[in-house]
Amino acid sequence: MRWGSFIGITVITLIIAWYQWPKINQGHRKDKAAFVVLSAAGWAFGVIVAAFPHLPSPLTLLDTLFEPLSKLLE
Amino acid sequence: MIEKGKISAAQMSFLSYANIVVTSILIVPGITYKYAKQDLWLSPIWGALLGLMLVPLFLQLHRRYPSYTFIEYLEAILGKVWGRLVGLCYVLFFLLSSGLTLRQYGDFLIGAVFRETPLLVIMALFSLATTMVVHAGLEVLARMADIFVPLLVFLWLLVIVLLLPDYELKQVLPIMENGAAPSLRGAVAPFTWNALFFYLSSLLPFVNERERKEGLKWSYITVLAVMITLVTTNLSALLLFGNITGQFVYPFMNAARYISYADFFENMEALVMAIWVGGMFIKHAFYQYVLVLSTAQWLHLSDYKSIAYPIGVIITILGLWISPSVADIAHFIDVTLPFMSLGFFILIPAMLLLIAVLKRRLAVK
């Protein structure tokens, strides 16, 4: 685990929350929930990518998925 | 409707034009040459045929649901369960497109100028700027296109014109040496880019009411403008480099580097760099806008601005993670992306229109 990345992503997420939270339409619980979930997802995503930089990329998955079709082009 | 901004028909056209042309003038000539050889300038003309078919498709869908964007009429046509399921696929696809665009921007900048700067820094700063645009709304994005697009077209034209004395016309011969097949195979990349006319569906609902008619005209003008730009770019690379065009990943960039007048007008690739940075700014901000708006519509939120920054963070990390190398991305764009575009941008919208028409017919009976 790289602590620099961990601290970085945490600080960025907190700054965004501090800036954006008061501006979310009051009384819309769904908006607030969406903001919290997406912020948490971004944070978790960042931590995971920082911890395991060599995760297989989504493009590899898609390349494999579409291989029967893409063979037609090659 | 959660987007309250209004744009003009010309702004819609500028945004779509920039979205397609920016990456294609750099990436398409190389890919096209690989298959079409000296017929590479014919391929964008085949590509434009697709554009000419897609525009009416989205205009028809738009006529049936004038104030809805794609994600919204998806739900209106397919019903709640299927509409949301397919909608999720689109949101994820938009996310992938944004991440990919951001990464392309970063890779190109590092490859060409900022050799020592970490990728993350370049992408994060760029992402911050585009997120601010998205947060400001569609009107700001449209006005940005107003300012940048004419400037970018001018710079592009400047590169083409400065190369005029170096062109050798005989390089285009023989035309269609092996029939139309090579140029058609080469047209896969222009097809993929012309499929981006799908994004008209995200802009049409926000065009001024009194310019609705003009929106139709401007959409077709955009198809022609894209075709002319691509044909000219491909042709200028061919006329300059002839049969070594295929050795460059970005022939247009190399062409600009070739310009030299009186030991004074040199290093013109800086112009291409300016086109890339300015154009990518519009393109990525637009993609991010579509992603943020679609996500908000998919979740039925009351506002899209509040989720702009969290999504900006997700895109940046995705851009970092998406691929270990430039070659992987090139391979993906060459063979996999065409099929994804075919599905998401052409087949599903065409089926939607069919279902919408059938629904109406059955309802009348």
The ipTM, to two decimals, is: 0.91
Please say if the pLDDT value at position B186 is more than 80.
no
pLDDT for B96: 93
A57 → closest Cβ in B314, B322, B338: B322
Q: Which of B275, B298, B295 is nearest to B287 (CA)?
A: B295
Asked if A49 lies within 8 A of B321 by C-beta distance, the reply is yes
A35 → closest Cβ in B188, B307, B334: B307
Q: Which of B13, B8, B19 is nearest to B289 (CA)?
A: B19
Question: For B274-288, what is the mean pLDDT?
Answer: 91
Nearest chain B residue (CA) to A67: B336
Interface with B, mutate which of A57, A62, A64, A67 (most B CBs under 10 A) = A57
Question: For B112-123, what is the mean pLDDT?
Answer: 87
Mean pLDDT score across all residues of chain B:
87
Work out how many CB contacts closer than 8 A connect A with B: 100
pLDDT for A1: 53
- C-alpha B230/C-alpha B85 separation (Å) is 36
Please say if the pLDDT value at position A2 is more than 80.
no
Please say if the pLDDT value at position B117 is more than 70.
yes
Interface with A, mutate which of B32, B123, B339 (most A CBs under 10 A) = B339
Question: For A18-34, what is the mean pLDDT?
Answer: 84
At residue B91 the predicted structure's pLDDT band, cuts being 50, 70 and 90, is very high
CB contact A13 to B (< 8 Å):
yes
Contacting residues of B for A29, CB less than 8 Å apart:
none
Nearest chain B residue (CA) to A46: B317
Angle between helix B251-258 and B212-241 (nearest 10): 60
pLDDT for B365: 67
CB contact B328 to A (< 8 Å):
yes
- The string of pLDDT tens digits covering residues B65-82 is 888 899 988 888 888 899
Contacting residues of A for B300, CB less than 8 Å apart:
30
At residue A27 the predicted structure's pLDDT band, cuts being 50, 70 and 90, is confident
How far is the alpha carbon of A8 from chain B, nearest alpha carbon, in Å?
A: 12
pLDDT for B315: 94
Q: Which two tokens stand for residue B183?
A: 């140029």
Asked if A39 lies within 8 A of B339 by C-beta distance, the reply is no
Residue whose entry in the numeric block shows the structure tokens 């994060």? B124
Radius of gyration for chain A, computed over Cα atoms and rounded to the nearest angstrom? 18
At residue A74 the predicted structure's pLDDT band, cuts being 50, 70 and 90, is low
- C-alpha B285/C-alpha B81 separation (Å) is 30
pLDDT for B226: 92
